[in-house]
């Protein structure tokens, strides 16, 4: 099969045609600064979890064009000198970014990339592809974590994932707060606990359910979870599981749990808990799967469903009803000048120049609910301004502030490498600092993102210049 390793051609063709023009006009080594940001929060929610940074930087550090890439590009009409120059292509830029796992908001730069025009352009597609997707899935996972409390959340999604996208979906799920995965390859590569139960086919392959349960318990007693809905959950599956659990006890083993995969999960989990408890099997856990998402999990727990482990598939790894985070990568500085993109829609005018973002922290050490975007060399201002409504401002004087963007890559070398565990812990720490009103599923409170006076002035002056 084709090897899916990402190389320089993992990009849109226009990145290369533009790079060719920069190359042929001698502009390829001029400094360019791009911002990565998104405009719309997924799920009509109150926040986004920033994820994928580690993956992106890992790929970027090694990114190069292979012999096959070079030969192909020569064959599709690109300039030969330019294509030859790609043989020695390495990304040597510098990147400032929010920490992976950070809670972030619309229109603020989440990442700032500084490099030469050519390299900054070529890596755009890769950056957007990785960060947009993992941030979407980490956000979905975080929403489930906020309603699941300390119950176990497991990713069961690979079979319904968008092809190999499932691999990084699992990583992002862990960033957002999931505990484990059924995806063995992701577990291996990312050091995530791998978990699994059994499928209906295993039970169907036996003439009766009890014999199937027994064989499984004998030959795979560790972490044994029995699937109880192949024929009839309450009349067959649970009684047979209880029989096997008692037999395991006689061998000093313990049934870890049962799994419900159809029917009404609230009703069945209550009945199941009662039957297990009456058999003295208080320690046997209940796993539920089948069409779960954050709304269903919340609703099941609101109804006191005694479920210990949620196995989440499609909705976790593909993130519906949203299909993508709308993250974009916009030029802010090039050829020694700040740059701007205009639009009829005031909200879509970009913010020029190199920028920083400061998060305001209140007296209790929680987020105040306001981030301010400044020029990169400015101090934190006392007042921040609404990005589009000229008369709206907010005093932020006296609050503690933290810069969001930190150097994570220096001239092509990664300089900050937290483990996935640390990233996931950071995400929960930051979500805990985010007031509850921003975590509501319905009409969450809007987190404010404003501009410094200096940045606003620069944007407005440039707008005037280009409008004339």
Residue ranges in 421-450 that form contacts with a second copy under rule CB under 8 A: none
Q: Which CB atom, from 72 or from 89, has the smaller least distance to a second copy? A: 72
H/E run at residue 33: strand 31-37
Q: Does 117 bind a second copy (CB under 8 A)?
A: yes
C-alpha separations of 327 from 40, 129, 444 in Å:
8, 9, 21
Backbone angles phi, psi at 65, to 5 degrees: -95, 130
Q: Which CB atom, from 3 or from 80, has the smaller least distance to a second copy? A: 3
CB of 390 to a second copy, least distance (A): 22
Give the x/- contact pattern for a second copy in 153-192, rule: CB under 8 A: ---x-xxxxxxxxxxxx------------xxxx-xxx---
Residue ranges in 231-250 that form contacts with a second copy under rule CB under 8 A: 231-232
* Count of residues interacting with a second copy (CB under 8 A): 113
Residue ranges in 199-218 that form contacts with a second copy under rule CB under 8 A: 199-202, 204-205, 207, 215-216
In angstroms, the CA 449 to CA 192 distance is: 35
CB of 12 to a second copy, least distance (A): 4
CB of 63 to a second copy, least distance (A): 9
Q: Which CB atom, from 169 or from 434, has the smaller least distance to a second copy? A: 169
In angstroms, the CA 440 to CA 460 distance is: 35
Residue ranges in 337-356 that form contacts with a second copy under rule CB under 8 A: 337, 339-344, 348
In angstroms, the CA 431 to CA 425 distance is: 10
Residue ranges in 255-294 that form contacts with a second copy under rule CB under 8 A: 262-263
Q: Which CB atom, from 27 or from 386, has the smaller least distance to a second copy? A: 27
Q: Does 13 bind a second copy (CB under 8 A)?
A: yes
Dihedral angle of Cα 139, 140, 144, 147, to the nearest 10 degrees: 60
C-alpha 217: how far from chain center: 36
Q: Does 80 bind a second copy (CB under 8 A)?
A: no
Contact residue for a second copy among 299, 314, 362, 428 (CB under 8 A) = 314
Q: Which stretch binds a second copy (CB under 8 A): 96-104, 197-205, 270-278, 429-437?
A: 197-205
Dihedral angle of Cα 129, 130, 134, 135, to the nearest 10 degrees: -70
Q: Does 133 bind a second copy (CB under 8 A)?
A: yes
Q: Which stretch binds a second copy (CB under 8 A): 52-60, 107-115, 299-307, 420-428?
A: 52-60
Dihedral angle of Cα 262, 266, 272, 277, to the nearest 10 degrees: 160
* DSSP symbols for 399-462: SEEEE--EEEEETTEE-----HHHHHHHHHHHHHHS-GGGT-SSSPPPPEEEE-HHHHHHHHHH
Greatest Cα pair distance in the chain: 86
Q: Which CB atom, from 58 or from 410, has the smaller least distance to a second copy? A: 58
How many alpha carbons lie under 13 Å from residue 334 in its C-beta half-sphere? 18
Q: Does 24 bind a second copy (CB under 8 A)?
A: yes
Q: Which CB atom, from 25 or from 304, has the smaller least distance to a second copy? A: 25
Q: Which stretch binds a second copy (CB under 8 A): 300-308, 335-343, 372-380, 426-434?
A: 335-343
């Amino acid at each position: 099969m084709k090897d899916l390793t990402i190389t320089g051609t993992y990009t849109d063709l226009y990145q290369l045609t533009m790079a060719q023009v920069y190359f042929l006009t001698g502009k390829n080594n001029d400094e360019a600064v791009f911002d990565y940001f998104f405009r719309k929060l997924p799920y009509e929610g109150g926040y986004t979890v920033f994820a994928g940074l580690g993956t992106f930087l890992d790929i970027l550090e090694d990114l190069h064009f292979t012999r096959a890439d070079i030969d192909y590009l020569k064959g599709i009409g690109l300039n030969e000198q330019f294509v030859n120059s790609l043989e020695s292509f390495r990304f040597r830029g510098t990147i400032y970014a929010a920490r992976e796992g950070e809670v972030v908001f619309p229109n603020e730069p989440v990442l700032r990339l500084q490099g030469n025009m050519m390299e900054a352009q070529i890596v755009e597609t890769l950056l957007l592809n990785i960060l947009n997707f993992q941030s979407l899935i980490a956000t979905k996972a975080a929403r489930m974590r906020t309603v699941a409390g300390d119950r176990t959340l497991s990713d069961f999604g690979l079979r319904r994932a968008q092809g190999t996208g499932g691999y990084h979906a699992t990583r992002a799920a862990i960033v957002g707060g999931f505990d484990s995965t059924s995806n063995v390859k992701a577990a291996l590569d990312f050091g995530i606990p791998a978990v699994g139960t059994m499928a209906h086919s295993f039970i169907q392959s036996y003439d009766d359910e009890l014999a199937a349960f027994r064989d499984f318990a004998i030959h795979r007693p560790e972490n044994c979870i029995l699937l109880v809905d192949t024929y009839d959950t309450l009349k067959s599956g649970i009684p047979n599981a209880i029989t096997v659990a008692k037999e395991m006890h006689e061998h000093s083993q313990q049934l870890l749990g049962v799994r419900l995969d159809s029917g009404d999960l609230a009703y069945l989990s209550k009945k199941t808990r009662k039957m297990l408890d009456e058999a003295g099997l208080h320690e046997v856990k209940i796993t539920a799967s089948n069409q779960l998402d954050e709304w269903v999990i919340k609703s099941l727990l609101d109804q006191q469903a005694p479920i210990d482990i949620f196995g989440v598939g499609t909705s976790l790894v593909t993130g519906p009803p949203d299909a993508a985070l709308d993250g974009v990568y916009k030029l802010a500085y090039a050829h020694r000048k700040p740059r701007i993109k205009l639009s009829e829609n005031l909200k879509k005018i970009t913010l020029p120049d190199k920028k920083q973002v400061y998060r305001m922290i209140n007296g209790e050490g929680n987020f105040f609910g306001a981030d301010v975007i400044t020029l990169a060399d400015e101090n934190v201002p006392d007042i921040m301004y609404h990005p589009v409504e000229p008369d709206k401002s907010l005093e932020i004087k006296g609050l503690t502030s933290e810069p969001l963007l930190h150097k994570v890559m220096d001239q092509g070398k990664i300089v900050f490498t937290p483990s996935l565990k640390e990233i996931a812990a950071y995400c929960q720490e930051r979500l805990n600092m985010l007031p509850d009103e921003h975590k509501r599923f319905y009409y969450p409170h809007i987190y404010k993102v404003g501009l410094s006076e200096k940045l606003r002035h620069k944007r407005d002056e440039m707008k005037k210049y280009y409008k004339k």
